[in-house]
Amino acid sequence: MTSLREIFKRPIDRPIEGVIKADDEVGLRLEIEEYVLTNEIERNLGRFLNAYNDYTNANGVWISGFFGSGKSHLLKMLAYVLENRDVDGTPAFDLFVKGGLGDAVLKADLEKAIRIPSKSILFNIDQKSDIIAKTQIDALLSVFQKVFDEMCGYYGKQSYIARFERDLEGRGELTAFKVEYEKIAGRPWERGREQAPLEGSNIDKAYAAATGASDDDVKDVLRRYRSEMRQSIEGFAADVRAWLDTQKPGFRLNFFVDEVGQYIADNTKLMTNLQTIAESLATKCRGQAWIIVTAQQEMKSVIGDMTQSQHNDFSKIQARFANRIPLNSQDVAEVIQRRLLEKTADGRLALIDLYHDNQSNFGTLLDFTDGGRRYTHFKDSDAFIASYPFVPYEYELFQDAIKSLSEHNAFEGRHSSVGERSMLGVFQSVAVANATSEVGKLATFDQMFDAISAVLKGNVQSAVASAKQDNLVDEFALRVLKALFLVKYVKTFRPTVHNVGILLLDRLDADLTNHRRKVEEALALLEQQIYIQRNGDAYEFLTDEEKDVEEEIKSVDIDSTEFMVAVKEVLFGVGFKNNIKHANSGQDFQYSSKVDNQLFGREYAVGINMLTEYEIVGDLNAVAARSVACDDLLVVIPQDSRFNSDVKLYKQTLKYLQQASDSNIKDSVKRIREDRARQNNDRLQDIKTRASQLVGSARFFARGSEIEVKGSDAAVRVDTAFQTLVDKVYTSLSLLRSVTYTDAQIAEFAKKQPTVFDTELTEAEREIIAYAQTIASEGNRTYARGIVEHFTGKPYGWEPTAILCLTAGLVARRKLQASLSGSPVEGDRLVKALKSREERSTLFFDIQTEFTPAQVRDLKTFMATFFDGQPTSNDGKALGEEAKAKFEKLVIELAGYIRQPATYPFMVTLTSLGEKTTQISKKPPDWLLTEFADTEKDDLLALKEENLDRVRTFLSGSQKIIFDSAWTLMANESSNLLYVNQDDVKKLEERLLDPNCLNSNGIRDIKNYSDKIREKLFVIIAEERKAATDAINQKSQSLFDDKAFATIPEARKTEVRALVAKELTIVKDEKLIAVIRNRVTHFNDEVFPRITETVLASVPIEEPPAPLAPPIKSDVVATPPDGEGKAEPPKAKGLGGGDTLVITPPLVPRPPKMVAISRIKPSISKPYLSDESDVDLYVDELRRSLMVEIAAGKRISL
């Protein structure tokens, strides 16, 4: 048989550098010669060369690719090829194209690029920053300055020394300085500058000698350089520009920077500095300085989360590094296949046969299932030959594995997030390990572990080492453990038994059944030894810390009760509700929840009992027999060895996480616990899925027989089987005729009035009546609670709402009489009692009394006459209640009438009717049908006809208007009535107060008398108004005719006339006769004197007579008149002889006061005048009184 080693075109174990180092030139020729340009790289490289050859703006190139993708290799090739550096006597370009370039355009572009003279500075930024901290604000600039200085021959490790050297060279003095230094120090400058702090004196002397400066001018020259040294990106770009100016026209300086993304990480400041350096070089050098960098991520991923301002900066970075060369997984696979796995002609023939022999089984052998990312296998024979002995999925899965392990800090090295092996190196190592195997052997995924184990951290892979060293597992289980280690953090791969089996498949002709068994046994052993854990059907490698946590979890004690509760929750949580609706009746049924006969929660009349493998004893016939005597649906759950163990592990993990303390634990352990919490949630979901599957394939038994249920949906199957259980247990459920009742309908049933057509009871209603009759025959009361309990039980199974609706309806139809606390209840009160659990215990029912048709007919006849309308009820009970209600209403109406005797005295005639109706209204409804005597009915009808009907007629017609008008006349005109015929007044009053005024002609007489009185009053009032008006006019005219009135101002005349007009208006509007007469007296005594005074006061005053002699000028002070018109004469000064000159000012007359003659009363003691002498005496006394008033300055108005 042919070995694998023999089918490869080139020796599989030849030296191939797995990791390309930027500064390593060992094996450089082989690196260039064997470099593989994949199709994708060719396309990207072509775009870069177009930009390089025809520079426009962007001078940055970003090469991205995951670990081992060849980005460093490509960077190194570009650095050597663009410079076309000589490698072992051959130009790099010639070595690069030695194997031939398939793309002629690309070759032409590359030739054009190397014709541009250039210098490549290739370096790993992390290595070159060995003394530069990334936290320094100018860390990135310092590295660029360092490599540039070193390229120029300066001392790059100390930028100030390099600046010193650059300045000397710029002045043409550097060579002389080096010569002088070596003379003075005895060592070359290249060694001395490394100890510059100790060589200060020698440096100063050499500097003075080389430059001709005096010793006084030169002192600590390097110290001054150090203190004054200031790096800037602009200064760096200027240095590059200055250097380029010393080269050929168009010369380029290209910086090839390896692992920039790793160095920058998510430091936005460093990224911005990189952009600024590239931009400054572009500005200063105009395309003559390029920056080509590598990173493990795309540019955007390097930055991470950004603020808005950072987004703006990043857009600039993207513009500067517009030339991008991404390397993907296909590139890596193609490189590995072309450099490592290329086959000989004989090898291809052997593999063609192998392909055709197994092609039809590739899907079965190599297709991953159970979700996750879709990894591919061989798509055709060419792919099979190119990749063999590797399966295509291994390229992608291994990349994913390395990425995820890197993210979890699994590798050794300065940067533990990145491994130090390339994909090519790993695949070569695995290929070499299988080189002696015969054709047909596959390289298994677990072998990748051995290829990278040397660079894995010890603590990460300690579990594998421990398992190997302690011989706790066999070789195959160890391989399984290695494979699980590699995929531990690959989220897109689901390590189920099937998928793990593919990873370990080492031959295309393997026995899959036996292979799966071996995988299952290995997984079980590893889980038992706690090297791995199972979460559902997926397995996970455990680190040491994870192993410790897993051991703690599995040591948590879970008692049987906790376990059974968890089993119940998942089995009863497969989709069916706590209430299951019975399809035929529309009712919801609650059920007892049981697992293996153990009850959880409240027990109901029917139940669902889930029987697991622990409870089933014997065959299923025994289960059927058990179901005969119980009212449960027995659900026989299929056996599942993992189900119970997973439920237990779920509870253990949950309890562990609840009890675990987060204090004083490492962050790594905290993360493990968080992972376990997430995994436990996933485990719970898996348990629920499996529970649904188990119930979906369960078998059902009820009342002695198996229930055949089709389908696989757990909730639907349980629901279907439960329907049969309800039908078997509740045989009288059909009496409800599939009618659905609601809580709101209880009130509708309670208030529904029976009709003549509503006499037949339903079967369900007859059952309730029969139950009440049975209870009554035993001498007991039928309580609402008892009715509900009886008919919710077997064999009825009616919903309480349906029972309450039917019972309320029987009360409304007068088949049952409801009572609460000894009093009948119905309507809203009945509804409230039925809905109250407490009041159902005291709410009881009696069978309703039946009434004869004659009794019903007699009461209806009476009601039609007495209440003036046909009753609406036909049922006896309802008719009695209607009659009672009407009597109660009439009592209220009569009470309202009887309370009005002051307004309507005749209302007293209703007293007898009111008393009788009040008594009847207090009788029960049944009394009105059974004991309401005909004589009582006749009396009521007579009283109604004689009194009530007349009152109603009075109140609804014109009689009330007549009566109210007459009553108002007597009340409002009482004072005026004294001036009319008192006989008419008396007769009207008698009629109004007559209780029997509604009989015979009482209202007509009231109308006649009241009309007559009104007419008489109208005439008298008119006469009185006229007499008063004439008297006032006559009196006031006498004033208007007086000569004094003519002399007063017109405004005063208008005022006086207005006062008179006001008095006349009052008289005109006044309705009371006595008041009209009194207004005349008031005018004579009050108003007329006042207006007369007004007139006299307004008469003009005549001027006083002129003085007989001119006034004497002296210090004489005039004395104004006093209240009596007199003045004291002042004494004049300067008149000699003591003469006194009295000067009296003229007196101003005051208007006289007026007094009415009616107010002047002669002072005489006689009560009357009897003879002439009495008259004379009276006249004399009157004259004396009048003169007294005149003497007082008053005027007397007549």
Q: Where are the strands (E) in 560-627, listed by range?
A: 579-581, 588-590, 592-595, 598-600, 607-611
DSSP state of 438: B
On the question of pLDDT at 301 being above 80, the answer is no
Answer whether 29's CB lies under 8 Å from 95's CB: yes
Q: Which of 589, 700, 718 lies closest to 635 in space, CA to CA?
A: 700
pLDDT, average across residues 306-333: 72
pLDDT, average across residues 245-257: 95
DSSP assignment of 443-489 equals: --TTHHHHHHGGGB-TTTSHHHHHHHHTT-S-HHHHHHHHHHHHTTT
User: How far is 764 from 738, CA to CA, in rounded Å?
Assistant: 12
β-partners of residue 258 are 124
Q: How confident is the model at residue 1140 (pLDDT cuts 50, 70, 90)?
A: very low
* Helical (H) or strand (E) element with 666: none
Q: Which amino acid is it at 822? A: G
Burial 907-938 (b: 16+ CB within 10 A, else e): bebbeebbebbeebbeeebbebbeebeeeebe
Range with lowest mean pLDDT among 714-723, 1136-1145, 1156-1165 = 1136-1145
Provide the pLDDT for residue 1151: 61
Answer whether 231's CB lies under 8 Å from 145's CB: yes
* Helical (H) or strand (E) element with 257: strand 252-258
- Flag whether the pTM goes above 0.75: no
Q: Which of 64, 65, 67, 91 lies closest to 80 in space, CA to CA?
A: 91
516: tokens are 């799966």
Q: How confident is the model at residue 619 (pLDDT cuts 50, 70, 90)?
A: confident
830: tokens are 């009945």
Answer whether 574's CB lies under 8 Å from 715's CB: yes
Q: Is 844 helix (H, G, I), strand (E, B) or coil?
A: strand
Provide the pLDDT for residue 461: 86
551: tokens are 């051991």
On the question of pLDDT at 540 being above 60, the answer is yes
Cα radius of gyration rounded to whole Å, the chain: 64
51: tokens are 């930009």
Provide the pLDDT for residue 329: 63
Intra-chain end-to-end CA distance of the chain, in Å = 170
pLDDT, average across residues 573-584: 86
Q: How confident is the model at residue 1126 (pLDDT cuts 50, 70, 90)?
A: very low
Q: How confident is the model at residue 134 (pLDDT cuts 50, 70, 90)?
A: low
Provide the pLDDT for residue 414: 43
Provide the pLDDT for residue 135: 65
Count how many residues are written for the chain.
1198
User: How far is 481 from 547, CA to CA, in rounded Å?
Assistant: 13
Classify the C-alpha dihedral 190-194-198-203 as positive or negative: positive
Q: Which of 742, 784, 787 lies closest to 764 in space, CA to CA?
A: 787
Residues ≥6 apart with Cβ < 8 Å to 106: 42, 45, 46, 49
Q: Which amino acid is it at 1058? A: A
152: tokens are 């120029």
Provide the pLDDT for residue 1114: 44
On the question of pLDDT at 332 being above 90, the answer is no
Q: How confident is the model at residue 266 (pLDDT cuts 50, 70, 90)?
A: low
Percent of the chain at pLDDT exceeding 90: 40
**Distances in whole angstroms, Cα of residue 252 to Cα of each of 75, 122, 204, 770:** 17, 14, 36, 112
Q: Which of 715, 881, 70, 728 lies closest to 399 in space, CA to CA?
A: 70
On the question of pLDDT at 371 being above 80, the answer is no
The most confident of 126-140, 476-490, 601-615, 654-668, by mean pLDDT: 476-490
Provide the pLDDT for residue 557: 92
Tokens 């009340």 belong to: 971
1137: tokens are 């002889």
User: How far is 154 from 1106, CA to CA, in rounded Å?
Assistant: 141
Who has greater pLDDT, 319 or 557?
557
* Helical (H) or strand (E) element with 499: helix 497-503
β-partners of residue 701 are 634, 706
Who has greater pLDDT, 838 or 621?
838
Provide the pLDDT for residue 205: 92
Torsion of CA 487, 490, 491, 495, to 10 degrees: -10
Strand 823-824 to 816-820 pairing: antiparallel
The total of other beta-carbon atoms located within 10 Å of residue 1179's CB is 12
Tokens 């049922």 belong to: 875
Q: Which amino acid is it at 1057? A: R
Burial 685-721 (b: 16+ CB within 10 A, else e): ebbbebbbbbbbebbbbbbeebbebeeeebeebbbbb
On the question of pLDDT at 559 being above 70, the answer is yes
User: How far is 57 from 77, CA to CA, in rounded Å?
Assistant: 24
Q: How confident is the model at residue 1176 (pLDDT cuts 50, 70, 90)?
A: confident
pLDDT, average across residues 356-363: 89
Answer whether 394's CB lies under 8 Å from 332's CB: no
DSSP-H helix ranges across 922-1042: 925-930, 934-943, 949-956, 958-972, 982-993, 1002-1040
The most confident of 224-233, 662-671, 800-809, 1171-1180, by mean pLDDT: 800-809
The mean pLDDT of the chain is 85
Range with lowest mean pLDDT among 192-206, 633-647, 1174-1188 = 1174-1188
**Distances in whole angstroms, Cα of residue 1001 to Cα of each of 757, 869, 969:** 52, 30, 20
Q: Which of 647, 652, 655 lies closest to 685 in space, CA to CA?
A: 647
Q: How confident is the model at residue 51 (pLDDT cuts 50, 70, 90)?
A: very high
DSSP state of 9: S
Q: What confidence tens digit (pLDDT) does each residue in 781-819 have?
A: 999 999 999 999 989 999 999 999 999 999 988 889 899
Q: What confidence tens digit (pLDDT) does each residue in 825-854 have?
A: 999 999 999 999 999 999 999 887 777 888
β-partners of residue 28 are none
Q: What angle do CA 633, 636, 641 make, to 5 degrees?
A: 150
Range with lowest mean pLDDT among 23-32, 457-466, 993-1002, 1148-1157 = 1148-1157
Q: Is 536 helix (H, G, I), strand (E, B) or coil?
A: coil
pLDDT, average across residues 295-311: 58
Provide the pLDDT for residue 235: 94
Tokens 């004989």 belong to: 346
Provide the pLDDT for residue 1195: 73
DSSP assignment of 51-90 equals: HHHT--S--EEEEE--TTSSHHHHHHHHHHHHHT-EETTE
| Residue 629 burial (10 A CB sphere; 0-12, 13-18, 19+) | exposed
pLDDT, average across residues 1185-1197: 77
Q: Which of 477, 458, 560, 559 lies closest to 521 in space, CA to CA?
A: 477
* Helical (H) or strand (E) element with 560: helix 560-571
User: How far is 860 from 61, CA to CA, in rounded Å?
Assistant: 109
Provide the pLDDT for residue 568: 92
Q: How confident is the model at residue 771 (pLDDT cuts 50, 70, 90)?
A: very high
